[in-house]
């Protein structure tokens, strides 16, 4: 017998948090974005997307922030299953599931790096098991399972990454720091602070192991597919990203943004504009 987690357990309403900080009134959103963060990151990774007309929710994986004491999830599928149950329990879910509700707020499932695998699984579960319509599936900076990694940079070929996966191995933390520094996106204050690093590395390693073990695509969704990458991101090439194409029976579009592995914080409005345009009914690839 399965239990459904409360929506607040693994879904963090970043827009509501922002309104509370600013004392702002609630505004009807034009778009609802459900963000799956990369390995080692928490739901707050997507805080930069918060805007008055966008409802942003982050998936909170176990083993970090408010869920720090919980054991890490064993697989990508487990992360997606928990998040799907939480979405189904959310107060806005019935409207998304109602057929013919054209005026409802479009739901975008967005995943970055490891989060792209979670997002693909999550969107599939929402459509096929929960009856919840996804307006757009957006996947970023992750080679699809079964596709060849980029030589010298992908998760399967980076020596520092492999050397850093086993916390008991000599020099493992130092190797992981070198890998994170090359990847970008982790504050230098964390990388240079042993206590902060010790808090982050267990969740990061667990996420990376789950990501590496993920080996097959989920059942395809009918939603359009948007594929995203940074122009200078050497961890994924266009062919590896394009290998996600079978996860959707809808139109496919691609966008590139200036920057490396984590390019979106500097291009928030452009990213939101692309998500809104690609989630619009009748949009063709």
**Which residues belong to the active site?**
113, 261
Token output for 213: 């073990």
Closest CA to 240 of 249, 222, 228, 250: 228
Cα dihedral 106, 90, 110, 65, rounded to 10, equals 150
Phi, psi at residue 282, to the nearest 5°? 85, 0
C-alpha span between 129 and 241 (Å, rounded)? 26
Alpha-carbon 226 to chain mean position? 13
C-alpha span between 122 and 81 (Å, rounded)? 7
- Sort strands 107-112 and 31-36 into parallel, antiparallel or unpaired: parallel
Contacts of 116 (CB under 8 A, 6+ apart): 36, 139, 140, 141, 142, 244
Strands of the sheet with 11-13, listed across from one edge: 11-13, 54-59, 31-36, 107-112, 136-140, 225-230, 252-257
Q: How many helices (H) and strands (E) does the chain have?
A: 11, 7
C-alpha span between 17 and 13 (Å, rounded)? 7
Convert 146-179 to b/e letters by CB count within 10 Å (16 or more is b).
ebebbeebbbeebebbbbbbeeeeeebeebbbbb
Element (H, E) at 85: helix 76-89
């Amino acid at each position: 017998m399965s239990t459904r987690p409360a929506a607040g357990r693994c879904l963090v309403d970043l827009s509501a948090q922002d309104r509370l900080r600013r004392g702002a009134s609630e505004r009807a959103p034009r778009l609802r974005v459900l963000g799956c963060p990369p390995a080692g990151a928490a739901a707050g990774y997507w805080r930069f997307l918060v805007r008055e007309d966008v409802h942003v929710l982050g998936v909170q994986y176990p083993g970090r922030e408010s869920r720090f004491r919980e054991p890490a999830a064993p697989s990508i599928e487990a992360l997606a299953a928990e998040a799907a149950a939480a979405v189904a329990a959310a107060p806005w879910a019935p409207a998304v599931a109602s057929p013919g509700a054209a005026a409802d707020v479009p739901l975008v499932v967005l995943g970055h790096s490891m989060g792209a695998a979670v997002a693909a699984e999550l969107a599939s579960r929402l459509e096929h098991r929960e009856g919840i319509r996804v307006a757009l599936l957006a996947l970023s900076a992750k080679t699809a399972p079964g596709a060849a990694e980029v030589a010298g940079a992908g998760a399967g070929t980076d020596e520092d990454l492999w050397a850093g996966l086993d916390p008991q191995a000599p020099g493992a933390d130092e190797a992981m720091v070198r890998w994170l520094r090359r990847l970008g996106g982790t504050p230098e204050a964390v990388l240079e602070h042993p206590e902060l690093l010790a808090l982050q590395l267990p969740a990061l390693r667990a996420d990376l192991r789950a990501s590496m073990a993920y080996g097959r695509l989920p059942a395809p969704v009918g939603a359009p597919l948007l594929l995203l990458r940074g122009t200078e991101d050497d961890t994924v090439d266009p062919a590896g990203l394009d290998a996600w194409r079978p996860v959707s029976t809808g139109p496919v579009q691609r966008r590139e943004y200036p920057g490396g592995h984590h390019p979106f914080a500097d291009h928030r409005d452009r990213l939101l504009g692309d998500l809104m345009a690609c989630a619009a009914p009748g949009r063709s690839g």
